[in-house]
Amino acid sequence: MPATPVIEIRDLHKAYGSLDVLKGVSINAQKGDVVALIGSSGSGKSTLLRCCNLLEDSQQGEILFKGEPVTWKGQGLARQPANRAQVTRIRTNLSMVFQSFNLWSHMTVLQNVMEAPLHVLKQERSEVEARARALLDKVGIGDKADVYPAQMSGGQQQRAAIARALCMEPEALLFDEPTSALDPELEQEVIRVIKALAEEGRTMLIVTHDMRLAADVSDHVVFLHDGRIEEQGPPESLFRSPQSARLRQFLSHSLMD
């Protein structure tokens, strides 16, 4: 009997008014899978990730977390999750790392990492602080625990955001273009951390413009075009012998960047 996926999305549709952004997308990630979502701007990658984490409401289709379907009320553009406690539970298990870091500027790095476990999960401060300091060491910024985000480079801020996501001890990590706001040198700092997490067997969905990152860390690559899955498969076959003309065109431009 096949294992239950950590994340399963079935025939998902998402629109903003009359603009259809996702037009029936289905993906799943088993425990330990790293799934990379690639595609040009406007293809629906980040929207799919935000729908997965219930930051956006979808209009049709199912989202399941460890086999548990999200419950909905309403139809079409009025559809929204029916159970707020379920939404909170799922979000705490699907930690998201954003392109723009989203650290709280008035808190130190350590306070940023500790905030959610303390106030959402209601965990003991001493336990949370020990875990937070260990995670900051893990991502290579243990010496920055008491500084504020504005005093750090972009790469350091993004690594702090990854430590913050990990401190929730989530079932899966969702990365939305984690390196696109960084210059190449700082980008490599973050890529090293993501590769290490992949090697640990963490379940991850990664929206990325970096084809080398997608090729190096993912088990499965999904190419989105115009709100649909145009092609998908293991990175070695998808990048070496793309089947669709659209993917070939996309890769030819991406690899020249």
Q: Tens of pLDDT along 74-100?
A: 999 999 999 999 999 999 999 999 999
Query: For the residues 217-233, what does the mean pLDDT come to?
Result: 97
Q: State the pairing for strand pair 203-207/34-38.
A: parallel
How far is residue 13's CA from residue 241's CA, in Å, rounded to a whole number? 29
The answer on pLDDT for 122 being more than 70 is yes
Query: For the residues 222-233, what does the mean pLDDT come to?
Result: 98
- Bridge-partner residues for 204, per DSSP? 34, 173
**What does the mean pLDDT of the chain come to?**
95
Q: Give the model's confidence band at 2: pLDDT under 50 very low, under 70 low, under 90 confident, else very high.
A: confident
- 43 by DSSP, 3-state: which? coil
Q: Give the model's confidence band at 163: pLDDT under 50 very low, under 70 low, under 90 confident, else very high.
A: very high
Kindly report, residue by residue over 5-41, the tens digit of the pLDDT: 999 999 999 999 999 999 999 999 999 999 999 999 9
The answer on pLDDT for 256 being more than 80 is no
Q: Give the model's confidence band at 185: pLDDT under 50 very low, under 70 low, under 90 confident, else very high.
A: confident
| pLDDT of amino acid 192 | 94
| pLDDT of amino acid 255 | 64
- Bridge-partner residues for 222, per DSSP? 37, 232
How far is residue 6's CA from residue 25's CA, in Å, rounded to a whole number? 17
Single-letter amino acid code for the residue at 135: L
| pLDDT of amino acid 253 | 84
The answer on pLDDT for 236 being more than 70 is yes
Q: What's the residue count for the chain?
A: 257
CATH code of 7-104+175-254, in short, is 3.40.50.300
